[in-house]
Amino acid sequence: MQNDKRPENMKRINTPELAEEFIREQVEAIRAEVKDKKVLLALSGGVDSSVVAALLIKAIGKQLVCVHVNHGLMRKGESEQVIEVFGKNLDANLIYVDATDRFLSLLEGVSDPERKRKIIGGEFIKVFAEEAAKLQGISFLAQGTIYPDILESDGVKAHHNVGGLPKEMNFELVEPIKLLYKDEVRVVGEALGLPHDMVYRQPFPGPGLGVRCLGAITRDRLNALREADAILREEFDNSGLAGKVWQYFIAVPDMKSTGVKDGKRYEGWPAIIRAVNTTDAMTATIEEIPYPLLHLITKRITAEVNGINRVLLDLTPKPVGTIEWE
């Protein structure tokens, strides 16, 4: 559709008007390219794939088939939001696959971080390819490639993305936002009417909570992590930190300590808070979360989340600690 180099005179899309103009141009270009054929998209619910989905729905409606694979490692409410926004509000042709059991049984007993990532990435491709094989008459594959992905394709991020799809799938690619920077993708997403929290959400790794449920994943610890993470996000939203801090999450290690609850011994896992700021994710500094907020989060997590009996704060900048724990 376009080549891979951003023209030097291309304006930075930073107003709704410029976004509208981009959308008009892309809708026309997509229609001209796709005609009456069908397009397939792996829709994770992340910023990039969501914006591509909304753009394609605008251009070709039900000729776009979105497949959302829930690997069971999503944050609380994420798959539900995909169904709500795309399935209901935008009336998309959406296939929802709950593959939680497949992923969690493959991951059972696996504690090595690299193996975990490989299993999650490999299985994701398998599930998606299986869904694609069930469909008839797909000619194109849409992808949420953005400009930094092209610039950094040999760099750190290359091995990261679970969304990288099998080369043997013989589709032509549709990559309508591949010349855009992240901030532009967000402006375009808002102009397309996507919810603000979807368009401005913090980065989330492809393997999801899988790399934050440290060591060998178990369902009970994964659930505890998901609930604790939801509380952290809720309190960051309430206090206004959500719009200010680059990335914040909980990690739960595979170890227990002694505690006491309702007068009884209470063994539980610790929830580790990590909140960092960065511009390029290569280095990161620590957000200074106010103590009253830390106390509130601690009180809520230990009271509301089954299995957590301590809350810890990770004060390590990158380097030396990577942003994720695994």
Binding site residues, ligand XMP, CB under 6 A: 160-161, 203, 205-207, 247, 281, 318, 322-324
Nearer to ligand XMP, 38 or 274 (CB): 274
Nearer to ligand XMP, 91 or 197 (CB): 197
Nearer to ligand XMP, 58 or 116 (CB): 116
Nearer to ligand XMP, 33 or 324 (CB): 324
The answer to whether 85 and 239 are in contact (CB under 8 A) is no
CB of 203 to ligand XMP, least distance (A): 4
CB of 99 to ligand XMP, least distance (A): 18
Helices (H), the chain: 16-34, 47-60, 78-82, 100-107, 113-134, 147-151, 182-191, 196-199, 219-239, 291-304
CB of 91 to ligand XMP, least distance (A): 29
The number of beta carbons lying within 10 Å of the beta carbon of residue 231 is 23
CB of 207 to ligand XMP, least distance (A): 5
**Residues 6 or more apart whose Cβ sits within 8 Å of residue 69:** 42, 44, 97, 99, 124, 127, 128, 131
**Spatial distance between the Cα atoms of 92 and 170, rounded to a whole number of angstroms:** 24
**In Å, how far are 16, 151, 209 from 147, measured between CA atoms?**
20, 6, 26
Nearer to ligand XMP, 191 or 272 (CB): 272
Cα angle value 160/162/165 (rounded, 5°): 120
CB of 63 to ligand XMP, least distance (A): 28
CB of 206 to ligand XMP, least distance (A): 4
**Spatial distance between the Cα atoms of 252 and 305, rounded to a whole number of angstroms:** 12
**Spatial distance between the Cα atoms of 314 and 319, rounded to a whole number of angstroms:** 13
Nearer to ligand XMP, 205 or 307 (CB): 205
